[in-house]
Amino acid sequence: MRERGEFGLAAVGQVAAGLPSAVGQAAAGGSSAAPSAVASAPSAAVPSGASAGVPAAGVSGGRSVVPVLGETADLPALVERHGIDTLVVIAEDVHPNHLGTVLRISFGLPCETLLVQPPSNVVPVSAARREHLAGLPCARVDWRLREPSARCAKRLLDLVVGSVILCAALPVIAVCAVAVRLEGGPGVVFRQRRIGLGGEEFVLLKFRTLRKVDERESDTRWTVRDDDRIGRVGRFLRATSLDELPQLWNVIRGDMSLVGPRPERPHFVEQFSRTCPGYMLRHRVPAGMTGWAQIHGFRGDTSIELRARLDNHYIDHWSFTGDLKILLLTVRAMVFRDAG
């Protein structure tokens, strides 16, 4: 555990943070420190603890004395404009429905994020990531892929390997497309909204394996193993993961990565973010075609909590060689899936 000094932060402005009267507070480091930022409540730079005698940066007489700089959506521009290097989010004073939004935005920012008094049902805090700020517990939300060099290496792997696989798989893709067309008629490729890096939506591509349903049902109905909407061709494609081949185009386009947490529909992301510890932290990196959870058998209708735990382990321990290992293990699993 580390203790952060109280005097390393100086308020520069506030940001609306999701409650009718709640705003976030931006702060910059002192004269000898690099700039940083804080998101908190309007009445104190630190929640509840301020009333117990904990000093609050940027607060005078229980009232904030710094200007309101904008809304939560303005955080990326504010971080760039003020040279912010640390974003501190006071979880207790941000509405639960907005905490996920604030964190997902922070995942795309070029700065460290400290979550003060993190709710355990949202962000499980390991001992290695536990710190203190002005006497209050906080979690450091950090990961290797925040580094530009790591992001470039991962993107290069996606482009090179993804392009090779796409070219090699074109005959298989053609056969799958014909089979889907013969069984289900027009509409070979299925398009669906999914959540990726930083909580941003993108359109995921895959071969249609279910009978045609209305968009609302598709977006909100969970698919199970013996789903009555799945035909024979669709069942084969799902069992072999061949229905995922069109997502190679998502990878080339930059919507996804070859390796990463599997993307989910907005309806379920909202639901799981409320009930599954650490689920929203999966959005720190691009969604993937395969991942650490999938090679351990957690695919389809399996435990969401265990999948989130494995996904976050992958993110916290990411390496270039680790991605290569996951890709090789995925190929082996696809080839020998029926052997065991």
SS (H, E, C) the chain: CEEECHHHCEEEEEEECCCCCCEEEEEECCCCCCCCEEECCCCCCCCCHHHHCCCCCCEECCEECCCEEECHHHHHHHHHHHCCCEEEEEHHHCCHHHHHHHHHHHHCCCCEEEEECCCCCCCCCCHHHEEEECCEEEEEECCHHHCHHHHHHHHHHHHHHHHHHHHHHHHHHHHHHHHHHHHHCCCCEEEEEEECHHHCEEEEEEECCECCCCHHHHHHCCCCCCCCCECHHHHHHHHHCHHHCCHHHHHHHCCCEEECCCCECHHHHHHHHHHCCCHHHHHHCCCEEECHHHHCCCCCCCCHHHHHHHHHHHHHCCCHHHHHHHHHHHHHHHHCCCCC
Note the pLDDT of residue 23. 37
Nearest one of 125, 127, 109 to 117, comparing CA atoms: 125
What is the Cα–Cα distance from 243 to 169, expressed in whole angstroms? 12
Using CB atoms within 10 Å of the CB of residue 20, give its burial: 0 to 12 exposed, 13 to 18 middle, 19+ buried. Answer: exposed
Note the pLDDT of residue 213. 59
Averaged over successive runs of 10 residues, the pLDDT of the chain (340 residues) comes to 47 56 40 39 31 36 61 83 81 73 80 77 60 78 85 97 96 95 88 92 93 59 63 87 95 97 92 85 93 87 87 93 96 70
What is the Cα–Cα distance from 111 to 268, expressed in whole angstroms? 28
Note the pLDDT of residue 125. 57
What is the Cα–Cα distance from 158 to 164, expressed in whole angstroms? 10
- Residue 143 identity (one-letter amino acid): W
Tokens at 68, concatenated: 């309101």
What is the Cα–Cα distance from 104 to 17, expressed in whole angstroms? 13
Nearest one of 166, 212, 170, 169 to 189, comparing CA atoms: 212
What is the Cα–Cα distance from 26 to 98, expressed in whole angstroms? 17
Tokens at 93, concatenated: 């004073």
Contact between 63 and 20 (Cβ < 8 Å): no
Note the pLDDT of residue 299. 78
Note the pLDDT of residue 289. 96
> Whole-prediction pTM value?
0.74
- Residue 148 identity (one-letter amino acid): P
Note the pLDDT of residue 210. 80
Note the pLDDT of residue 231. 81
Note the pLDDT of residue 87. 83
What is the Cα–Cα distance from 34 to 248, expressed in whole angstroms? 41
